[in-house]
Chain A
Amino acid sequence: MMENAWLIPLFPLLSFLILLLIGKRLREASAYVGILLTLASLVFSILVLFERFTEPTYITKFDWLTIGDLHLTAGFEVNQLNALMLFIVSLVSFLVHTYSKGYMHGDERFPVFYAYLGLFTFAMLGLVISPNLLQTYIFWELVGVGSFLLIGFYFYKEEAKAAAKKAFIMTRIGDVGLFIGMILIFWQTKSFEYSEIFRAVEAGAVSQTMITLTAILIFIGAVGKSGQFPLHTWLPDAMEGPTPVSALIHAATMVAAGVYLVAALFPLFQASQTALLTVATIGAFTAIFAASIGLVQTDIKRVLAYSTVSQLGYMMLALGSAGYVAGVFHLMTHAFFKALLFLAAGSVIHAVHTQNIEEMGGLWKKLKFTGPLFLIGTLAISGVPGLSGFFSKDEILVAAWEGGHPVLFLLALIAAFFTAFYMFRLFFLVFTGEARGEQKHVHESPSLMTLPMLVLGVLAIIGGYVNTPWFGSFLGDWLVDGNEALGHGHIEGPAWIMIAATVVSLLGIYLAWLIYGKRSVARDWLSGAGGTLHTILLNKYYVDEFYQLIVVNFVKGFSYFLRFIDVFLVEGIVKGVAGFVQGLGITGSKMQNGQVQTYGAVAFIGLAVLAVIFALTGGYLK
């Protein structure tokens, strides 16, 4: 089965091509093309995953581009991480394809939407089975385009246009880091193959400075894709895309690609303590930074977006603390519960036609399926014991503590408190209390939409039991099997960490309940205490404004400066040359004045000049 894994990305590509050519004629039947072909990918992925449990890694490659003696290859690889990612991506993609049939019903560009979904899924699946850095980069950029197209799906909206552009350019800034890092490591190791790079690093063929430099450059690429600080600002704006897209791309799969990249190159990062520390610090900072913004946002999707940024920070923290398993584990559980939350949020938006949580309220009774499912997701992300998020978050906290980063550990713990608080704030505001906005014809979504949510809901509950301190770390042992460099399958940590995490999470929920559920504490208790703080958070620490002020204006200013050069200096030289020629002509014509004396003088001077040249050079150019 594994030798046929290359088919997995090709099914969605086929869907993209079919829908591009005949989607218009198929209309909403386009959905079936997409759904069936991603189902094929899912089935293949499951088969591949099960086979990988028992079989060794499969890798194959062929020459893609020849440059003199250099042979750059392309191919595919099925190792543990790849097999797991194939499963996650094709599962979420399939569910989102199904869900969208209901959500996008009636949109006039329905087939285009499915075509783009196919393109994105193709690129994402291609990304996770790439056996080398160059191929990873190729698909890395292609997922970016898929994301760009889907963010800009409502292209006639100015906000969507701006968000799509921003997403593309911000991630490209990161991608250039990856691009440079990739090329530098190539000239050090003469290969883009992961295995070759690791071999060279292990053999000490690459200097320590170079390892640190390339690892950090590659990490910059991950920062851009995974919305880590300071390149995070595009991700919340990306919520302009249709909600199923946010679930697929901006929660479960593409934004996790940065985490995947660091995981895939883990041996390189492990070779440099500086690089690991950078990853951990950026991760922990992003986790708390984004969580704090999430506390005050009022758009349901934006709260979830900041939560995504924050959770991705957690994963980076795990990887940076040498917790390979913890990072990958959280990537998986997060994919389940965050996709669930987004799909549930989509279902809410579908019902009430607004994204502002201040206008919602009291939906628990009206949305009989969505409500409980949203609650499951909220409990999972908040780290309530028993659900998937609890186990993976615990692994991360243990990894951070055992990795020797007490400060980062503390940040992560506070971020966990924030997470529980803002998620339950969201839950209480949306589902409990009285309806605050106009709510006409609120109805539960069709089963096409609730069934995918149900699947994710089940996974959000049980997904964590593959790797627990109580029932064995099956996932962790399997992930590091045959590759000790990745660390242990399970990191032992003190028991109080788990208790602390639980307490912190319950405290967050309790506080949210006091304020938004029971309302025994005034809502402006926090914002009233620090009005400035509230404004800063509401404005997301003014990062966007800062970029606008510094970067955008600088680029524009510099461009106008160059235009000045172009218009005055370059054109000036041109005019100067033209003027010189003209002047020469005028002088020349003055000599044609009919006076023999002038002619004689000119002829004599000319002869003299020639004689001098001849005397100096002997008449030859050497």
Chain B
Amino acid sequence: MNLSWVLTTLVFSPLLGIVVLAFMPKTQEKAIKFVGFLATLPALALALAAYAHYLAGKKLSDFTIGHEWIQFRGMSGDAPIFSVYYELGLSGFQLLLVVLTAVVATLAAIAARYVKKEWKGYFMLFLLLEVGMLGVFTAENLILFFIFFEITLIPTFFLIGKWGYFEKEKAAYSFLIYNGLGSAVLLIVIMILFAKTGTTNIDLLTKIMADPSAPLSGDLKLGLLISLLIAFGVKLPIFPLHSWMLKVHVQAPPSVVMIHSGILLKIGAYGLIRFGMGIFPAQFETLATLIAILGVINLLYGAFLAFIQSDFKMVLAYSSISHMGIVLIGLAAMNEAGIQGAIFQVVSHGLISALLFFLVGVLYERTDTSLIENLGGIAKGMPIAAGFLLAGAMASLGLPGMSGFVSEFMAFLGLFKELPWLAAVGTIGIIMTAAYLLRAVLGMTFGKAHREFIGFVDLKGVEFVPVVVLTALIVLIGVYPSVLSSPLQATLETIMLGLGG
């Protein structure tokens, strides 16, 4: 059976929703929201089908598609000098991210029920954003990757700037400037690679770079890797490139933050792993200690600052910085445990932060606040929401039996092998994570209620879907991590081969 149509359909299926929405009247709020939600389902179904395909023991390479696309021919010859192909593919790692994207996108579409105005525009941009994200994780060459990468930027800019909270414009511009600079750096790297090697295919580039006779000096490779580190460091974000994402986390509407924190930040991690570590393994090794230090800084810096925030959204924003530190820690370990831990953390944090930000949306919808102090004692009025909030916090602070623990454990397992002292410093983050999350969550849910919460509606109806699905996935990964680790083994082997391990 020829399955090469799957990925193209998967990536572009949200466009169908955009077309349908284009023909709908602006005022039909319910219908628009419903269509917007439906439009995310084909991608979800296909992503799950691809996972089932893998589970059935079949090859992921069945999905690979390659097509001639753009070619530059010289004056004389027939053979194209530079050609860019339309290439999509799936490895185990990419499969996981595609499934994660599809799941979070669908759930974020449900969270978009809190959007108050111009639903039509919102969902059209939202679906375009989904196309971009799915494309980023399936693109097999750098040009295509870059195009999809840019497609994620523009809808996000408008989604923040138009549908956000009070300082939305400022946040949107901050987002655009930082990410714009990041992608400019990325573009330069891609162009240099393209010019030097004549290809942007990632697998080919990996092979070429492993060849000592490659037309690139070691210094240039190191320079390119550092540029990649900066480009994706903005996205991840790595300290001190993080200030934009704080604004976005606070100002963007809940469903966009679910996507942003759940998926968009992960593009940074994906890029670092696939391009940074994949294409420049030797140079990555020279930077490993530096990356480990950056990781520990991220981890502790985010944790300590999250400890003194008064707005729960800010706590979660700094918490994201802290948790992305664990990704860096895992990568810097450069061994199987560390890298697998980093990838687990990517998926796990995507689920956990989507859950927590959805709950922020739920609370904000009812109370018009996300300040910890104002929410004090809300467990009295909304016990179920408070219970899930506590569960999310437990997952985030790395409680065993939930996904956060497995990733944190493996990342530290990896780093303790290579740089035990640095890892030991990093473990302070484990304590601080518990401290700031309990301070914030108990501050909101436990204690004496500051006001009457009686009459508040607890979680109801469709709101249960994202909360239950995300919690179930978090627990599933925590209890049975093989759902993630078994598709990853092949990817891991490839990476380790590149590292010469």
What residues make up the interface of A, taking CB atoms closer than 8 Å to B?
Answer: 63-70, 134, 137-139, 141-142, 145, 152, 155-158, 160-161, 164-165, 168-169, 172-173, 176, 179-180, 183-184, 186-187, 555-556, 558-560, 562-563, 566, 569-571, 573-574, 578, 621-622
Residues of the B chain whose Cβ atoms lie less than 8 Å from the Cβ of A570: 239-240, 242-243
> Among the listed stretches B120-128, B143-151, B416-424, which one makes contact with chain A, having 4 or more residues with CB under 8 Å of it?
B416-424
Nearest chain B CB to A175 CB, angstrom units: 8
- Chain B 360-383 per-residue mask, 1 if CB under 8 angstroms from chain A, else 0: 000000000000000001011000
B435 pairs with A169, CB closer than 8 A: yes
**Is A183's CB under 8 angstroms from B192's CB?**
no
Interface-side segment among B25-33, B87-95, B406-414: B406-414
B439 touches which of A142, A165, A571 (Cβ 8 Å): A165
Residue of A nearest to B429 (CB): A176
Partner of B413, one of A66, A186, A563: A186
Q: Which residues of A contact B8 (CB under 8 A)?
A: none
Which one of B301, B308, B337 contacts A556 once the chains associate, using CB atoms below 8 Å?
B308
Is B434 interfacial (CB-CB < 8 Å)?
yes
B217: chain A residues within 8 A (beta carbon): 622
B446 and A152 contact, CB distance less than 8 A: yes
Q: Which of B375-405 contact A (CB under 8 A)?
A: 377, 379-380, 394, 399-401, 405
Residues in B neighbouring A139, C-beta threshold 8 A: 400
**Given A67-B485, A138-B401, A555-B435, A158 contacting B308 (CB threshold 8 A):** no
| Proximity bits, B278-320, A CB within 8 Å = 1, else 0 | 0000000000000000000000010011011000000000000
Find out whether the CB atom of B481 lies under 8 angstroms from the CB atom of A64. yes
What is the interface of chain A mostly: helix, strand, loop, or mixed?
helix
Among the listed B216, B409, B442, which residue makes an inter-chain contact with A165, where contact means beta carbons less than 8 Å apart? Answer: B442
Known contacts being A138-B401, A156-B448, A168-B438, is A66 close to B308, with CB within 8 Å?
A: no
State the Cβ distance, A245 to closest chain B Cβ, in Å: 16
* B448 and A573 form a contact (CB under 8 A): no
Interface residues on B, range: 35 or more
A273 to B239, CA, bound (A): 44
Given A156-B449, A183-B413; A562-B401 close (CB under 8 Å): no
Q: A155-B445, A570-B240 are in contact. Are A168 and B434 (CB under 8 A)?
A: yes
Q: Are A555 and B489 in contact (CB under 8 A)?
A: no
Question: Which of A138, A139, A164: most chain B CB closer than 10 A?
Answer: A138
**A164 and B416 contacting across the interface, CB-CB below 8 Å:** no
Asked if residues B400 and A66 are in contact (CB atoms below 8 Å), the reply is no
Chain B 218-240 residues near chain A, CB threshold 8 A? 219-220, 239-240
Contact B434 A172 (CB under 8 A): yes
B473 beta carbon closer than 8 Å to chain A: no
- What residues of A have a CB within 8 angstroms of the CB of B201 in the complex? none
- Chain B contact residues: over half helix, strand or loop, or mixed? helix
Q: Is the CB of A156 within 8 A of B492?
A: no
Q: How far is the CA of A176 from the CA of B426 in the complex (A)?
A: 11
The answer to the question of B22 belonging to the interface, with a C-beta cut-off of 8 Å to chain A, is no
Partner of B406, one of A65, A141, A176, A558: A65
Contacts A168-B434, A179-B427; A161 near B446 (Cβ below 8 A):
yes
- Ordered by A's residue number, 24 sampled pairs between the chains whose C-beta atoms are within 8 Å are A64-B481, A65-B406, A65-B482, A65-B485, A67-B485, A68-B493, A141-B399, A141-B400, A142-B400, A156-B377, A161-B442, A161-B446, A165-B438, A172-B434, A179-B427, A183-B416, A558-B304, A560-B308, A563-B308, A566-B243, A569-B240, A571-B243, A622-B216, A622-B217
B contact residues around A164 at 8 Å (CB)? 442, 446
Residues from chain B with Cβ under 8 Å of A69 in the complex: 336
Most chain B beta carbons < 10 A, residue from A63, A134, A179? A179
Residues of A within 8 A of B412 (CB): 179, 183
Q: How far is the CA of A69 from the CA of B192 in the complex (A)?
A: 37
B431 within 8 A of A: yes
* The 8 A-B residue pairs with the shortest CB-CB distance in the complex, in nearest-first order: A68-B336, A138-B400, A161-B446, A155-B446, A559-B308, A559-B304, A183-B416, A570-B240
Do A68 and B492 form a contact, CB below 8 Å, given A183-B416, A566-B305, A621-B220? yes
B61 in the interface (beta carbon within 8 A): no
Q: At the interface, yes or no: B430 with Cβ under 8 Å from chain A?
A: yes
Question: When the two chains form their complex, are residues A562 and B431 in contact, meaning their CB atoms are under 8 A apart?
Answer: no
B residues 151-201 in Cβ contact with A at 8 Å:
177, 192, 196
- Set of chain A residues within 8 Å of B423, measured between Cβ atoms: 180
CB < 8 Å neighbour of B431 from A173, A184, A573? A173
Quick check: B417 and A187 within 8 Å, CB to CB?
A: yes
Residue from B380, B400, B448, B482 with most neighbouring chain A CB atoms (10 Å)? B400
Residue of A nearest to B174 (CB): A574
Inter-subunit contact A573/B240 (CB<8 Å): yes
Query: What CA separation (Å) do A288 and B220 show in the bound complex?
Result: 66
B48 at the interface (CB under 8 A from A): no
Chain B residue contacts of A168, Cβ below 8 A: 434, 438
**Shortest Cβ gap from A66 to chain B (Å):** 5
Q: How far is the CA of A552 from the CA of B26 in the complex (A)?
A: 54
Q: Is B447 an interface residue (CB 8 A)?
A: yes
Contact B380 A156 (CB under 8 A): yes
User: How far apart are the CA atoms of A96 and B331 in the complex, in Å?
Assistant: 47
